Amino acid sequence: MADGLQDEYTHKTNVGVTVLSQSSLSSRLVRYSDLKPCLNAFVDTRTPGSDTKENFTIVGPGVSENPDQHVHIPEPHGFNIGGARQPPGCLNSQHSHNTAEVFVVHSGQWRFLYGVDADDAYVEMGPGDTISIPTKMFRGFENTGDSTGFLFAVLGGDDPGKVTWAPSVFELAEQYGLVLLEGGRLVDIAAGDTVPSDAKRQQPPSQSEVEALKTPSPDDLAACVAFANNLEGNEASSLLAFVQSGSVSEAAVITPANTADGFTAGPIKGWWKHDFNVRRVTLSANASISLHTRLEAEVVFLQSGSLTVANSDGEQVTMGAGDTLSLPIGMARSWSNSSETPTVAFVVRGGDSPQAPTAG
């Protein structure tokens, strides 16, 4: 790792400077079983129907309104990684973001609802499906299945800003003792907290602000979803040059523009800024990919199967379904699936046009 890249791995927090090891894989692996949820991350978390959701911040600060939200990997990547786990019938209330918000369905059946009152349109999604929701529009999501479901989330930028909530969310929150302050801080009145005398309460968006966050057309919304069954491997992917055994497929999911690693824009391009790519990588039984390095931060989320990732020092970690691994710029890494069943991973790479990998 070049010394000039050191700042890539430094993140200032309220307790000082945290630097993750640039060579250790184990320090960059977050097991699904080790995820630490926040049960009151947002102003809607006491609203009946939304009070059983769990929010996770895996990479970067996220958009939580609770300063006690646990961040697993605070290091900046150029994007944020999070998650949401909800039991059947649990609803995430209508809100808007100023940066990209992407969800990959890991488990469960989900309905994504559009519009300030959640009645403009909706789309149904299941495991392996991906949605990138346009910025500056109201959206919410509900677990419509019969078991607990988990969503893997990607937010654009190191600082994705704060959430804009629908007016109805504020009304319900105050009924249940939660107040949101300007700047995004949550005050729990019901727990005995008080609003500081010099603080200002966040006001609901005005009617003109609501109108500015209107839902795009049905055709535009349809272009925001990539269903798992429609994804196709790209034979021009530069990753395939490193396949040692078995078969490997890399499919585009979110590709804002034509890229240097062999992909054309699509299927999700977006007219709003992403600054990252999402790909689906599938390894057949006993497939392997030799050591290679990248010029972008890369985060791997394992959808299904088993994946062993090793570095040039001989350290290796084996991921299970739901695990997340952060791979820094310049670290040589190899992938292998030693099982008898296929492995499916979703990969987030920084930038609109990731470069081709080079030999590790």
pLDDT score of 223:
97
Closest to 163 measured CA to CA, from 276, 43, 14: 43
pLDDT score of 2:
32
Closest to 74 measured CA to CA, from 117, 24, 13, 125: 13
| Domain at 33-226: CATH code | 2.60.120.10
Helix or strand run (H / E) with residue 336: strand 333-336
How far apart CA 208 and CA 97 sit, in angstroms, is: 17
What does pTM read for this prediction?
0.92
pLDDT score of 13:
34
Under-50 pLDDT residues of the chain: 1-19
Helix or strand run (H / E) with residue 221: helix 218-222
What's the CATH superfamily of 232-359? Jelly Rolls (2.60.120.10)
pLDDT score of 110:
98
β-pair type (343-350, 276-283): antiparallel
Closest to 155 measured CA to CA, from 273, 260, 72, 20: 273
Closest to 349 measured CA to CA, from 248, 272, 281, 288: 281
How far apart CA 129 and CA 225 sit, in angstroms, is: 8
pLDDT score of 68:
87
pLDDT score of 8:
32
Whether cis (ω within 30° of 0) applies to the bond prior to 328 is no
Query: Are 347 and 324 within 8 A, CB to CB?
Result: no
Q: Where are the CATH 2.60.120.10 domain residues in the chain?
A: 33-226, 232-359
